[in-house]
Amino acid sequence: MKIEKFIMLCVLLFLTMPRVLSQQIPQFSQYLFNPIYINPAYTGYKEDLFVQSYYRKQWVGLEGSPESFGVSGDVMLDRQNLGIGMVMMGDKLGLQTTQSVYANVAYHLQLGMDSYLSFGTGIGFVNYRMKSEGYSPTVIDDPTLGLGLDNVIYPDFRLGLLYYSNYLFAGISVDQALENILNINNVNLVIAPRRSYSFGFGGFIDASDRILIKPTLFIMNDFFAKRRLDLNLFFMYDEIIGLGLGHRRSFNYFQKDLDGPKNIAFILTAELHITEQLRLGYSYDHPTGGFLNAESHELSLGVLFVSPRSRLRSPRYF
């Protein structure tokens, strides 16, 4: 029944999902709670049917600031050690809107008693649109509007690799892998898809019978703009309540000629397991450098549909 429930849920999500809008590469602070949006190798890692969603409002108070939303569902096919899932994301930035949907597959190879190596891929489509109706530009005859080039759909391909055990994980992923073969000519409107690489690493330390410490590191790089580095230290009490402190900054280690201020922010994250199956997350970003000193807020919700024969491959806080 697990696979039938998953298929029915994905169809329901697709039919009832509002018109949401997405960035090419999702940016959110709770990547530890929602890793499937970045790395398809996480597909099925909870084993049971896992539905998760997030909403992010960036740069609160600034007109036209980014709004992001995502919803996903994934499950493990036990006999095949195969995870399958669907990911839908959206983003709005000013007049620009983007929608994307992916079908994910990941194979989980058991290496030891509690360690696995997962190979994942995501295949989907991205719909970019410039909504210029009703907009009065400050520049008459703006060359980027009204050219009939305001709606583009193009394919996308993702790859991911993940090692995980009960107390350690490390993963790498590639987004926009089709960059070199895509031919999008309306460069006035569309930010051309650019291959991006992400790396995540972390572990779990039992400080006591009731306190768990989780240090993590996350790097995103497209070898064009500045690199993004996130460092986080998360504390969980009794596997129910968690609090985390994070630091994000951009840097241009390989390209010294990139000018401009570094984007620096401090992040406060909270997590609450309302039940063993229901998790709620919140994060607050406070910038201390960069072009904009505006806060960002993010909410996430995860629901785990536990089977009576469940045997989770990793703790529920991972």
pLDDT tens, position by position, 49-61: 999 999 999 888 7
Residue 125 lies in a domain: yes
Residue 25 lies in a domain: yes
Q: Is the separation of the CB atoms in 23 and 159 below 8 Å?
A: no
Confidence of residue 80 (pLDDT cuts 50, 70, 90): confident
pLDDT of residue 44: 93
- CATH code at position 94: 2.40.160
Q: How many domains does the chain fold into?
A: 1
124-179, pLDDT tens digit by residue?
998 888 776 555 555 555 555 555 457 788 889 999 999 998 889 999 999 888 77
Structural domain of 45: 2-200+293-305
Residue 276 lies in a domain: no
Average pLDDT, the chain: 80
Residue 239 lies in a domain: no
Confidence of residue 88 (pLDDT cuts 50, 70, 90): very high
Cα separation of 108 and 77, whole Å?
10
- pTM to 2 decimals? 0.82
| Burial letters 164-186, b for 16+ CB under 10 A, else e | bbebebebbbbbbbebeeeeeeb
pLDDT of residue 113: 86
pLDDT of residue 141: 55
Q: Is the separation of the CB atoms in 219 and 227 below 8 Å?
A: yes
Residue 152 lies in a domain: yes
Cα separation of 223 and 177, whole Å?
14
Residue 288 lies in a domain: no
Q: Is the separation of the CB atoms in 289 and 263 below 8 Å?
A: yes
Residue 100 lies in a domain: yes
Q: How far is CA 278 from CA 39, 80, 177, in A?
A: 22, 27, 34
Q: Residue 249 pLDDT more than 50?
A: yes
In this prediction, residues 190-205 reach a mean pLDDT of 82
Chain centroid to Cα 51, Å, comes to: 14
**What residue ranges in 274-309 does DSSP mark as E strands?**
278-289, 296-305
Residue 212 lies in a domain: no
